A and B are shown apart, each in its own frame.
Chain A
Amino acid sequence: MLTGLTIVSVSLVYLLILFAIAYYGDRRADEGRSVIASPYIYALSIAVYCTAWTFYGSVGRAASSGVSFLPIYLGPTLTFILGWFLIRKIIRISKLNRITSIADFIASRYGKSYYLGGLVTVIAVVGIMPYISLQLKAISTSFTVLLHYPSVAMPATLGSTPVFQDTALYVALIMAAFAILFGTRHIDASERHEGMVAAIAFESVVKLFAFLAVGVFVTYGVYNGFGDVFSRVAADPAFHRLFTLSAAGGYSGWISLTLLSMAAIVMLPRQFQVLVVENVDERHVKKAIWLFPLYLLLINLFVLPIAFGGLLQFPQRSVDADTFVLTVPMANHYQAIALFAFIGGLSAATGMIIVETIALATMVSNDLVMPFLLRHGRLHLSERKDLTGVVRAIRRGAIIFVILLGYAYVRLIGESYALVSIGLMSFVAAAQFFPSIIGGILWKGATRLGALAGLSAGFLVWIYTLLLPSFARSGWLSEHFLHDGPWDVTLLMPYALFGLDGLDPIAHALFWTLVFNVGLFVVVSLFTSQTMIERSQAVLFVDIFKRTSEGARIWRGRATIGDLRRLMGRFMGEGAAFQALRRFEREKGRRLDEAHAADADTVHYAERQLAGAIGAASARIMIASVLREEMHDIDEVMQILDEASQLVVYSRQLEEKSHQLEAATAELMAANERLKELDKMKDDFVSTVSHEFRTPLTSIRSFSEIVHDNPDLAVEQRKEFLNIIVQESERLTRLINDILDLAKMEAGKTEWQMLEIAPKQVIDNALAAMAGLLAKNPHIRFETHIAGDLPNVFVDADRLTQVLVNLISNAVKFCNRDNGLISITARPEGDSLRVDVSDNGIGIAKKDRRKVFERFQQAGDTLIDKPQGTGLGLPICLHIIERFGGQIWFESELGKGSTFSFRIPSARHPNRLRLDAKIEAV
């Protein structure tokens, strides 16, 4: 029989088990053997999302509007699909920055802002309050309903129950005790509560099984399966509207609930607590992102059958649909199931209260009270006492304050609302954090002022469109302003702001709060600038996956390690501070000396440890005080930046130097190549010269020997041989002269008698010099075409003669043996003198053309024919003409003859002048 005694004792036993699990979890954590280091426990702890609202409220909502309860669970499923990087990113950021709450997160992102942390805390406490009260209300109502067994009666309003007989009060007190015991045991940097998480995971299992038990019982015990329940409901036309959304309220509510719950699953303080702060290992996220949606699916599977079962069970509508989970088993006299259902509801509610309270209390102490006390000098540093006690007392006070505030809300306001409506108000409040957080981790440009403006505006609109109307409906305010707007301005009606009507209050509030919140957040961010620390935090948060270093270290301090240890000791306890520093030593593999100045690394570590105990904003203030405001010293920051930019300059110079070096190396290599080439040329030259010398020498020697060995040689013959010897000697002399000439020229040792002369005279001289040669070759016809207006040239006359003689003697050698014709043409061409020497000889084969101006290269086959010259004439000509600033070239057709031409700039030619200057410079 379900008596009050049974119910109370079973409940107490259940709560005792909870305490025991939490105690066990904490003890194992102390021993370093965590019980919660598993992705399954992690996923179950996230299921603290399913509160009494899910347990009782979903059925209530389903009974009035069909599947419209579902978006609350579909939204988180969608968010979790993105959780792989979204939630992991938040976890990574929080771990590196020792972030302990959502207020800490936002404050830390926007330059460790004290005001922002405070604002977020206020929004969270005010916004979540209705939600906590909802849980208390659910426990109290379900207890009263169960107490009336076997009759199924609705409880009187809570307000009429004396406070000291109210179950909700006692539950609230027990929860406060739990939260204090397991939520404030450590004041350490990790801020994780393993015992609490273990208990929460256990509660998630209990509530899931309790709800499934009720579902199976209703569906298969009272009715014959899903089909039976649904078809019976379908038989009643009054219930037809429950089968479709469009009939049960339309899509605007559906969409807004989906979006709302997508944000809430991360932004609700308790969700942030279990998802991020209590996360043991980032890798657990992987499994949790599909396990948690699966949990949601299972716990919602029987909502509709239970709701429909209730509607069929109580056709007179005498029973509140929010209690169907209890009252359907009760009406069918399944006492055990009803009791199990009650315990399930209790677990759902207590789980939420515990985590939410601890999360809110951490925020209140770390982001509201501590910064306030520190700012206003109540805890002055000069008082060298242990502050761990103060921190702990503030936490405990905050827990009691939060729970009692929730209780007060339910006593005064909670009566006028269904469970779901109360919860949704809190969802909208939590959704206000969404722009600042998501904007903060994805957009570096988001500024502190933007976040402040967006959050404030969103919160104010939330108060106006949801909180004040809830007061009005509870009779605290005149309902007049709900229906006619304040001062009868209908445009300002809280449920139809600026004339936007046709939406349900939640969708309406969500729309306007986000319009103001996102709008101001973005616009203000775009038009304000960030401080140095904001900038560094923004980069740290947004690029968290890109960096391996821990945090931005842009300051140096004058504090010693000892200072830091004493500071940490004041907030964490001496022992914990000592251990934390030992841990740091071990991690970094270095020794810390108490008297030494703390470097940026150590200061940063200390700040993060402190942040765990008292929040990021407070930790920053404390560290700043120890560092004597060193890190605010903009000059030093600028100096560090200067040093950095100096480094950039150096590295750029280095780069330049290395480029120059590369260029020099390339030049050297080219020079080296050239040297090698020259060396090879010299070798070639020596061997060629030796060869050239040998030919005439051999012939001189052999003819001399013949003459010497044969004294009785005929005179005629002797004369012929001696003639050959003389000729060959002459050739040898010529060869040596030419070689010396060319070598001198190439070495730049030739003396040049450069004068401005008229070329006509030089040409005449050359022709005169050739007269002897021409006389020997009477078969050659000789033509000259010398123009009268030849320009003067600036040359060495002897050298120019040498060129002409060379060219003409070549022509003589190669022209037609029988009917030779040589023509010499001299004429002005442009600003130059041009001379052509043509013959009608054999011409030059194509394969030889390239070699004509090279040394010792002669036309024809030198092995068969007797060499006609030294092979140095044309190279010498080339040298001379180039020295005069002109060009030399030839045209030839095999069998028809060749024309050698050169051109020399006139004495007044600008090129000539420049060349002159160059020579003087040399």
Chain B
Amino acid sequence: MVRRGLTSERLTGLFLFGLLLFLPPLIGVFDRPYLVGGIPLLYLYLFGAWAGLIAVLMLIVERPPSDADLDEGEQGMGADADFDQTRESRG
């Protein structure tokens, strides 16, 4: 059984991190009329942060379960028995 609780916690953390990245005040740091390598800084920052967020998201949910994950019980949003099947669908 995948460590659902941990995946959920990681995702919640990533969500909060995403809020930090995309909302003021942090966004104000990059909100300057400069071109970096010909690209506007804000544009570069937003797309870079966005792409990074998606990559981490992918890593979290597609990560093969390790032994440690198998040990930990269900927590957070609750249990579901069919969860160990999720790995089959991975391409």
Contacts and interface: CB of A to CB of B under 8 A. Distances in A.
Interface in B59-90: 61-62, 76-82, 85-86, 89
Contacts of A92: 80
Given A85-B77, A258-B23, A304 B50 contact: no
Contacts of A543: 78
Most A CB atoms within 10 A — which of B22, B35, B40?
A: B40
Most B CB atoms within 10 A — which of A89, A290, A293?
A: A290
Contacts of A39: 89
Contacts of A225: 38
B86 A230 contact: no
Interface stretch (A244-252, A673-681, A732-740, A791-799): A244-252
A70 B42 CA distance: 11
Interface residues of B, number: 45
Contacts of B38: 225-228, 230-231
B38 to A, nearest CB: 3
Nearest to A240: B33
Contacts of A722: none
A239 B59 CA distance: 39
Interface in A74-90: 74, 77-78, 80-82, 84-85, 89
A244 B42 contact: yes
Contacts, number: 124
A358 to B, nearest CB: 27
A78 B47 contact: no
10 contacts: A71-B22, A227-B38, A227-B39, A230-B38, A243-B34, A251-B28, A282-B82, A287-B61, A287-B62, A297-B54
Contacts of A231: 35, 38
A84 B61 contact: yes
Given A67-B43, A246-B31, A289 B57 contact: yes
A244 B57 CA distance: 28
Nearest to B50: A297
A81 B42 contact: no
A440 to B, nearest CB: 15
Given A78-B15, A545-B77, 17 more contacts: A67-B42, A77-B53, A82-B11, A84-B7, A84-B11, A84-B61, A227-B37, A230-B39, A240-B33, A243-B41, A254-B24, A258-B23, A283-B86, A287-B62, A290-B58, A301-B47, A304-B40
A283 B89 contact: yes
Interface residues of A, number: 50
A244 B33 contact: yes
A486 to B, nearest CB: 34
A77 B50 contact: yes
A281 B19 CA distance: 29
B40 A255 contact: no
Interface of A: 39, 66-67, 70-71, 74, 77-78, 80-82, 84-85, 89, 92, 225-228, 230-231, 234, 240, 243-247, 251, 254-255, 258, 281-284, 286-287, 289-290, 293-294, 297, 301, 304, 543-546, 548
Contact of A304 (B12, B24, B43): B43
Contact of A78 (B8, B22, B40, B85): B22
Given A78-B18, A89-B77, A258-B22, A70 B12 contact: no
Contacts of B86: 283, 286
Contacts of B28: 246, 251
Contact of A81 (B18, B23, B34): B18
A63 B28 CA distance: 21
Nearest to B25: A251
Given A243-B40, A244-B42, A254-B24, A77 B77 contact: no
B50 A74 contact: yes
Contact of A545 (B7, B24, B32, B80): B80
Contacts of B14: 81
A634 to B, nearest CB: 31
